[in-house]
Structure 1
């Protein structure tokens, strides 16, 4: 399968936007990354089906999050399942004075007719050592 480097850069830009919006605790900016039919599972196992459920949860939880806003996201692996579907493994680290915590999200992203990529399914997992 031929992969367009522009698609890789677009996916990396979505991950960078996820990081930026999480740092800013910007629920609306984060929600703009989701497909209307998205499915999301939080790091603690809460299943959210559809944009409305994801939005309700995000608008409640993100602005009140108890970290100081210092978080980093890195796309550590991008696997194209089809030219318009990618599985993206993320390394997510929340930096806090009492110590860092890590998440390991998996995003399934879909390329839209206009060429943009959106989060279509996601599973976040808390990393415990």
Structure 2
């Protein structure tokens, strides 16, 4: 019984840490904090943007982010919420994210999928991510 309680506590701590990464994505994107955003990625990460641009490896993600994020503009606020976390292994999680752009014209939604890996130091990093727009029609 003690082992199960410990496992539940570990899982809950991992879920909380994963949710904090998602919250940091929101915070760093909103603040256009390039280096804070890039600190969330594994060195071997893959990232596919909401427009389908495939970025392989940290260097490609960094180059794209440094070129695009500082000049990005949007009306309103964009929020991110981890809505489902599925552990594929104790150190690998698939995280479904709800991304909502709240603007004066209305809301639009994205449905990113983040595959995250737990590092030896306990940090969770973005490893393979796909951002997808949600169509309402």
Calculate the TM-score normalised by the size of structure 1: 0.94
Secondary structure at 1:7 match in 2: helix
2:27 corresponds to: 20
Q: 1:54-83: CA deviations, max 9, x gaps?
A: 011111111111214611100000000000
Runs in 1 of length 4+ with deviation above 6 angstroms? none
Match of 1:9 in 2: 16
Which of these residues, 102, 115, 125, is aligned with residue 95 of structure 1? 102
Q: Which structure is higher in helix share?
A: 2
What displacement does 1:98 show? 2.4
**1:1-129 paired onto structure 2 within 5 Å:** 2=7, 4=10, 5-68=12-75, 70-129=77-136
Per the normalisation by structure 2, the TM-score is 0.89
Give the aligned CA root-mean-square deviation in angstroms: 1.4
User: What secondary structure, in the 3-state scheme, does the structure 2 residue paired with 1:115 have?
Assistant: coil
Gaps of 5+ in 1: none
1:82-109 deviation digits (Å, cap 9, x = unpaired): 0000000000011222222211100000
Which piece of structure 1 moves more, 56-65 or 33-42?
56-65
Unaligned runs of 5+ residues in structure 2 are none
Give the match's secondary structure for 1:100. strand
Q: Is the 8 A contact 2:76 2:104 kept in 1?
A: no
